Amino acid sequence: MQIYVKNQKIFKVKYVFLSKKSTFALSFRDITNNMAEVKIFSGTSSNYLASRVADYYGKDLGGVSINRFADSEISVSFDESVRGCDVFIVQSTFPPSDNIMELLMLIDAARRASAHYVCAVIPYFGYARQDRKDKPRVGIAAKLIANMLTAAGADRVMTMDLHAGQIQGFFDIPVDHLEGISVFVPYLKAQNLQNIKFASPDVGGVSRCRKFASYFDADIVICDKHRKKANEIASMQLIGDVEGADVILVDDLIDTGGTICKAAELILAKGAKSVRAFCTHPVLSGKANENISNSVLTELVVTDSIPLRQINEKIKVLSVAELFGKAIGRIRDNGSISTLFINNQQILGL
C-alpha cells in the first residue's frame, strides 16, 4: 500500500494484487467518488429548472439561503451540510449579473464547507458571444467568466450549446458540452415534415446547421447577413434553393429576434412552404416577443435553459431537465457523457 499526503489530503492510495494471470489496481479516489453523496442546489434564476433536474436524478433539491443587504449586496449559505459531498450547482448566467455572482459565491461557499467535488451546471453560459477580439481594445468576457469560475473553486463545468465550441478551451478544468439537438431532433421527427431543409441564419452557424441536417439526410441553405452594429442587420442574402420546402432555421440563441424574423421573411419570399426556428437559449430581450408574434414563423422551438419572461403562442418550450439529470448521473458513476449525444444514442440504440 502506498499513501501520498499533501496539505492533509490523501491524493492516492493504491492496492496492487499480483498473480500469474491478473493484475488488479484500485484507486482510493475511485472509492471515495463512489462513496460521496450527491447534492444538487440552485441559484435564484434557475430554481424552476434545477428542481426538475434533481427530480430526474432522483434527489430532492438542496436548500440554500440567498439574501441581500440593504445595498443589494448578496449573501449566500447552504442550509445543510455538504462536507464530503459531490455538489452540483445549477445556475444559468443570463442578465442581471447577480446571477453570475450568486453562482460564484455558491461555488466558493461549497468549497469552504469542505465539499468533495463542485460542478457548476450552467445551462446557458452568459457572455459567450464575447469570445474573441473582433475590434481593438475590447475584453474577452467569455474567458473572464471561465477564469472566475475556476478561481471560485469549480472542479468541473457542465453547459449546453455554447455560442462557440472553442470556449471550452478557455477552461483548465473539464467541461461537459451538452447539445440542445438531443431534445430538438425527436420533436422535429414527430412533426413528419416531408420536404425539409435546414437554414443557418448566418455563416458562423453553418457547422451547427449541417449537424442538425445530417440526422434527416437533408440539405442546408445559408442566410448571409451584414451588420452595421450589434442587433441591427444592414442586409441579408439567401444562398441556396428553398422552393416548396419546410425550412428549419437553427441557432444557438435568439436575442431580439431580428435576425431570425428577417431570415424567415427572406426564406418565405424565396418560395418556402413554411419556416420554423429552433434556438436553444431564449434570451428574448427588447421587443423580441412582439417581433416573433408578428413574424412569418410557424413556430419558435426553444429550451428552458432560460425562463420565458412572457407567454407567446408561437413559442414551444422543450425541457432539458432530463438531459442534465442524466448527465449528472453519468459524472457521478464515471460514465460516458457522449452516450447522451443523439448520434451516439442512435449508434448504441439507447
Per the DSSP assignment, residues forming a β-bridge with 278 are 250, 301
Range 143-151, long-range pairs (CB < 8 A, 24+ positions): 143/170, 145/93, 145/100, 146/170, 146/171, 148/100, 148/104, 149/103, 149/104, 149/107, 149/120
Q: In one letter, which amino acid is 285?
A: S
- Catalytic member of 225, 270, 314, 326: 225
Do 331 and 345 contact (CB within 8 A), yes or no?
Answer: no
User: Please, where are the H alpha helices in 62-171?
Assistant: 98-112, 141-152
Q: CA 69, CA 248: separation in Å to the nearest integer?
A: 47
Phi and psi, residue 192, nearest 5°? 55, 45
Which alpha helices (H) appear in the chain, and where do they start and end?
Answer: 28-35, 47-57, 98-112, 141-152, 181-189, 206-214, 258-269, 288-293, 321-332, 342-348
Q: Is 263 helix (H, G, I), strand (E, B) or coil?
A: helix
Q: Is residue 283 within 8 Å of residue 254, measured between CB atoms?
A: yes
Over its C-alpha atoms, the chain yields an Rg (Å, rounded) of 23
Residue 225 a catalytic site member: yes
Catalytic residues: 225
